[in-house]
Amino acid sequence: MKRLAVLPGSFDPVTLGHVELAHRIAALFGTCRVVVMNNRDKEYLLPLEERYELCRRVFEKDDNIQVDSSEDMLYSYLLEIREPCVLVKGVRNEKDYLYEKNMAAFNFTHSGVETLYLDAREDMALVSSTLAREGWKKNVDLSSILPQEVIKHLQNKL
C-alpha cells in the first residue's frame, strides 16, 4: 500500500535544509506533503500565511511535493487527512532526535501514525530556521542556507 509522506514543521523560514529533506522524502516515497504548522510555544518571524506562501513558491516546480498548512495539533491534522501516511522528520543531532522521539510517541498515541527519521546530510547539519532568523537580524549573507525566494521575500518585507 502506498503511503503519503508528511513533513511537518514551522518553516520560519523555510531553509535549504528543509528543501533538501523534502526532495529526499519525495524520492523515497514518491510524494511528500510539506505541512506548515504553528507551535503555540514559539514566536515567529513570519505569520503562518507567509510561511505557507513561501513554501508553496519554493516547491512550486516540484510535482511530487505538495504544500499544506494547519493551525491544529499535528495529530488532528493527520486524522483529518484520512489517508495512509507516515511522518518523516529530519534530525541534525541528538537533541533533535530526543525532541522528535517524544513528539513521535505523542502523535502515534493520538493518531496511530508512525514517524521515521532521516539524518541531515553533513552539509545541512548546521542549517536551521533559528540560525537563519539570527543571521537575518545581524545582516549576515544567508544565501548558503536560504532559498533565493525566501531571501527576496525577507528583503522586501523587512
Q: For residue 46, what are the domain limits?
A: 4-157
Phi, psi of 117 (to 5 degrees): -115, 135
Give the chain's domain count: 1
**Mean pLDDT of all residues belonging to the chain:** 93
Q: Higher pLDDT residue, 42 or 64? A: 64
| Mean pLDDT, range 33-56, rounded to an integer | 94
Instruction: Tell me the C-alpha distance between 85 and 102, whole Å.
Output: 19
Grid cell 493520538 is found at 110
140 by DSSP, 3-state: which?
Answer: coil
Taking alpha carbons only, the member of 3, 65, 5, 14 closest to residue 36 is: 14
Cis peptide leading into 84, omega within 30 of 0? no
Lowest mean pLDDT among 11-25, 44-58, 123-137: 123-137
Q: Higher pLDDT residue, 95 or 157? A: 95
pLDDT tens, residue by residue, 85-99: 999 999 999 999 999
Q: For position 1, what pLDDT does the model report?
A: 57
Q: How confident is residue 28, by pLDDT bands cut at 50, 70 and 90?
A: very high
Q: For position 40, what pLDDT does the model report?
A: 82
**H-assigned helices in the chain:** 16-29, 48-58, 74-81, 94-111, 129-137, 148-157
CATH number for position 96: 3.40.50.620
pTM (2 decimals)? 0.93
